[in-house]
Structure 1
Amino acid sequence: MIRSLRAGLLGGALLLGLAATAAQAHSPYLLPSVFDASDRTLVTVEGAFTESFFTPEVVMKSDAYAVIGPDGVRTPLTPTYLRQLAIAEVVTEKPGTYRITTGQRAGRVAKAALVDGDWKFFEGGKAPADAIDMQSITTADVYVTRGAPSDAALAPTGKGLEFRPITHPSKIVTGQPAVFEALFDGKALPGLRVTLSAADDRYADAKAPPQTFTTDAKGLVAIKVERSGVYQVQARHRVASAGPGQPGQSHTYALTFESLR
């Protein structure tokens, strides 16, 4: 079953073994005009940061925007940057699955410190004495498919934080588990906290908070959404400085997907 974007879908999500958590400010996302490109030879994708999915607030710039085609070949994209979002056009003439990605996007360096077991960022002179320099590294992905799904575009890059889909993103079905493997530099990442947010929550009677869950010992996580809609799944992984004078890194990975019955 292949998916096409349906505007106005509301959703909460039930995840296996999850608990509610506060939303992360200004989360990244990529959102295509359609997920099912069966009748399209061109798909438009927007990229932005937001606090309410999927309303763009801050443009997401990157020098590494690209599309990985059904043949596994990576082709650079040149987006148009507006003040609140980036727009890229992706040619989808060949059948199969396409992975649109921002690539690894290096952000600003800020002061960060461990507070109650979690990293917190500080502005200006508010940082505690034990704060260190931390650089943000952001990657956002989304998959679209024309015709039958294919697997070449799903192959991990082996660099930074990313999700390898065990369940094909174009085969996610409402009410059935979708499984992903969290990787860092190509290795499974157990114990990673992941959040999932639903689209268009501003239209819901009660805004549902994001859900959180954790990858298992093999880096795997299973997600089951009970309402059809568009979702963003996100994780962050921090690594220490590689050496004197080098900042630590805060890696964020975000994947947008659609679930239909």
Structure 2
Amino acid sequence: MTNICNARALPLGALLLCFGSAQAHSPYLLPNLFDLGKRDHVTVQGSFTEEFFEPDVAMKSDDYHVLTPGGAKLALTPVYVRDLAVVEADTKEQGTYRISTGKRSGRTSKAAWVDGDWKFLSPKASAPPGAKVYDVTSVTLADVYVTRGKPSDPALAPRNAGLEYRALSHPNSLFVGSQMKFEVLFEGQPLAGHAVSVYSGGQRYSDKKAFAEVVTDEAGRFSFTPDKPGVYLAMSRHRPAPAPESPQGVSYTYSVVLEATE
């Protein structure tokens, strides 16, 4: 992804809007286990970080929840410390669960719409001549899937709202050398030509920050193939063109964390 922001000049709220940069804080949810065996609960951390998966800024949300294998949406109560949020979800049913931050609104930053893209402005910067300035709000959604027993599909159903990925292969059946397939949706419609970054864990010890940079096809689909066991994160942003009559803009970010096994 192209970094269109000056990370050093922007506050955290603007950095979250500009997470295409390897230096910007990026959201994730990480469970203590993906394959739960017979465990009746799972513990999940939520944070923003510059190095996956090392928590740095606690990810706060009013809509932490779990979608159960039976389709029930149950609220989760987070515990916050400075670097991360922690939630626990009961997993007494057999099947796949989706733990989510829910839709969370972040800070609002000033940005100008210039040549079909956003130019974010530091507090003392001026917009290019003739460009309209908007208040652009960050909207973040992070998901992770865990399974007790045999993987199931009900929790994979898309919300058809905002930016999200619809899994075309099961997130908890990912093996080294096999493809993980997703469809990128915005308001329920596929996004073609959409840039997605895939990261692996242990970034601190690697010069290669992104494991893969991919672009969705005409059907809004992308895939990647893990080359070793470990935890991976797929993430992207979507910044729709602003409505001409509105002073508001929105920057959507989405991430999903997966585990590849041998």
Show CA shifts across 1:164-207 (max 9, x none).
Answer: 000100011111111100000111111110001111122x3x42
Q: CA deviation at 1:57?
A: 0.7
The equivalent of 2:120 in structure 1 is 121
Structure with more contact order per residue of length (Cα contacts < 8 Å, sep ≥ 6): 1
1:250 has 2:247 as partner: no
Change in Cα spacing, 1:200 to 1:127, as seen in structure 2 (3 Å) is: farther
Q: How does 1:66-215 map to 2 (within 5 A)?
A: 66-113=65-112, 118-129=117-128, 130=131, 131-202=133-204, 204=205, 206-210=206-210, 211-215=212-216
Question: What is the letter of the counterpart of residue 143 of structure 1?
Answer: Y
- Please list every run of at least 4 consecutive aligned residues from structure 1 whose deviation after the TM superposition is greater than 4 angstroms: 114-118
Name the residue aligned to 1:4.
none
Give, as a single letter, the amino acid of the residue that structure 1 aligns with 2:87: A
- TM-score normalised by length of structure 2: 0.86
Looking at structure 2, the residues matched to 146 and 214 of structure 1 have their Cα atoms a distance apart, in angstroms, of 32
Give the C-alpha shift of residue 22 in structure 1.
Answer: 4.8
**Aligned residue identity for 2:52:** F
Identity %: 46
Q: Give the aligned residue type for 2:179.
A: P
Which consecutive unaligned segments of at least 5 residues does structure 1 have?
A: 1-20
CA positional deviation for 1:112 = 2.1
Q: Does 1:44 align with 2:40?
A: no
CA distance in 2, matches of 1:212, 1:83: 31
State the Cα deviation string for residues 37-76 of structure 1 (Å, max 9, x = none): 1131111100000000011111111111110000111111
CA contact (8 A) 2:111 2:118 kept: yes
Q: Is the 8 A contact 2:134 2:247 kept in 1?
A: no
- Cα-to-partner distance string for 1:124-160 (whole Å, 9 max, x where unaligned): 1224242422110000000000000000000001110
Structure 2 letter corresponding to 1:218: A
2: CA distance, partners of 1:113 / 1:142: 33
Q: What do the CA deviations read for 1:10-43 (whole angstroms, capped 9, x no partner)?
A: xxxxxxxxxxx85261000000010011131111
Count of residues in correspondence between the two structures: 239
The answer as to whether partners of 2:143 and 2:255 remain within 8 angstroms in 1 is yes
Query: What is the one-letter code of the residue matched to 1:167?
Result: S
Contact 1:49-1:58 within 8 A present in 2 as well:
yes
Task: After TM superposition, give the deviation of residue 119 of structure 1 in Å.
Answer: 3.3
Give me the TM-score of the superposition, normalised by structure 1.
Answer: 0.87
Cα pair distance change 1:163/1:65, threshold 3 Å? same
Q: Partners in 1 of 2:119 and 2:100 — Cα distance? A: 27
Between the aligned partners of 1:127 and 1:61, the Cα distance in structure 2 is 31
Contact 1:53/1:201 (<8 A) preserved = yes
